[in-house]
Structure 1
Amino acid sequence: MTDEPGPAERALYLAAVRGGGRLLPEDLAPADRPALAALVARGLLAPTSTGWTAAGPRALGDRIGLELRTRALRLLQYAERLPGTLGPLARAYEEARHPVGGPPAVAPYGGDPGVVDPRAADPRAADPKAADPGAGTVDDAAEVRRRVGELVSECRQEVLAAQPGPRPLEGLRMALAQDLSLLRRGCSLRTVYQPVTLADPGVRSQVALRTGQGAQVRVLAEPYGRVLVFDRAVAVIPAAEDLSRAVFLTDPTTVAYLAGQFERDWARATPAARHLDPLSPATVRIGRLLARGLTQRAVATRLGISERTVAAHISRLRDRYGAHTLFHLGWQLRGEQHD
């Protein structure tokens, strides 16, 4: 028994303590019998010849803590063994779904993805009837999440994720274990977010947990489409604005096009490290004025500070957004909707 005492047990135990550490049969009501039995089983009350005496709860806490730590250790050991135990089943499942060849080759990180012949990338493309039967529109949000999770678990090389707009923190937390498992398997994970996403401290913390294990994250302050690409073989795009429906695509030409769109956005995005530390209020205010089209001198006049001070803040903003000119910076800030 490792759960905590309930309200009835606590009340009965406190009554024994207030009675000098003893509990007599005449002190009990019929409704107290279940709580009494539970307290005796926990070791908080010890039977005597005349009734029961209260025992110290610290020993119970130590014992329960030891039991929980032992159980946790066993669960961790089981979790470590589970992938190996399921390995033969997973391989049989993957071979049944992909009987011919493997996923297409992936361009090296930071290199030109190049042009891949869809038929060479996936021999099944020569025969439309051999297309993945899992392709198509899924109308149930829970089923979408399940199938995306399955694709992450089956991934062999890389996941590309373009995720515009705010990200639900709870969803990121739930996906953390699976994402870290993906990275430990040697797969790459590249994600593009918008600046508004990293405005949430909780989201920044989740992003840092992934980047600390090798994930790459960039930020793009302009509109782009939501897409997930797995091993350049399967792409997932939303089929409804509320993300309750999704389309799973396996046509090689379509998947290659979506992967190319991702690479284009990735090349224009800036490393997330520049966004993980929040800007100072003064820098944010200057950024808002720049987004409205004010010049450096006009910003200095508006705020009553020197142009040199404004230039220092602009330099920080340029570093963060990868902007080479003041016009480019203002355009990026307008995309972020500072005004």
Structure 2
Amino acid sequence: MTDEPGPAERALYLAAVRGGGRLLPEDLAPDDRPTVAALVARGLLTPAPTGYTAANPSALGDRIGAELRHRATRLLVHAERLPGALRPLAHAYEELHRPSGPATAPEDAAAVPPCISELLAGCREELLATHSDPHPAEVLRRTLGQDLTLLRRGCALRTLHRPATLDDPDARLQLALRSRQGAHLRVLDEPYEQVLVFDRAVAVIPAAEDPDRGAVVTDPTTVGYLVAHFERDWARATPADPDPDAPHPTTVRIGRLLARGLTQRAVALRLGLSERTVAAHISRLRDRYGARTLFHLGWHLRGEHHG
């Protein structure tokens, strides 16, 4: 199966959308069965008691995009490692074909990549980092000292987190300690790769063979690729305010879309959320601004974002 739906899949999915988001068994011809199976496998159609329901394609695009970025990153890292991995074989071949004469010492093995603490010590301008740890507070406590040292040295620190990180009071406190020293924090409720980039020259990503270990990347093209994707994700992310009284980043994002004139239903479709979830966030915004109606809320939000 290719990454993108074929013409038959697209046509059948659009037929489901035109039919109110549903496909009934009587709407399907026998030749449609393989196409329906492919759409179900992709997650674009969901089986229901009365037929099939169309799903939001944005989730599929995010998932496949993340898989492709992950695959591309691994290929680039493999391309960088391959010459070093083949170096002992190349040396043996060269020895075999070397003219007879005094023996020469073999070329030294590639140096072991420096550890993260050494990279932090050598960082002079900026550290870019994405975090998707299952226990964010624990990791943030462990790295607080090195992050504060980096900031006090005058380096910029930009970190990207999952929205769930702000739901943890301990993690929120750890982020606040960094924010007070000038760190810039954002949250993104979309798939992204975990990476550290030091001075846009050296990157560390999880090693393919062991996610708990890091692979150091120094190839300029590969590092540039990782930086470009970090900047893309950063632009799509929501600034994180670790203040306990600050609204949730999803609430902030919904408020921005409402301020642009989108309806509750349009916001739900844009963010891939249920209308009930969006309504709950809108209720919090109305309480925050004392808005009696959605029109008044939009007026307050437009004034805040354009003031």
TM-score normalised by the chain length of structure 1: 0.42
TM-score normalised by the chain length of structure 2: 0.46
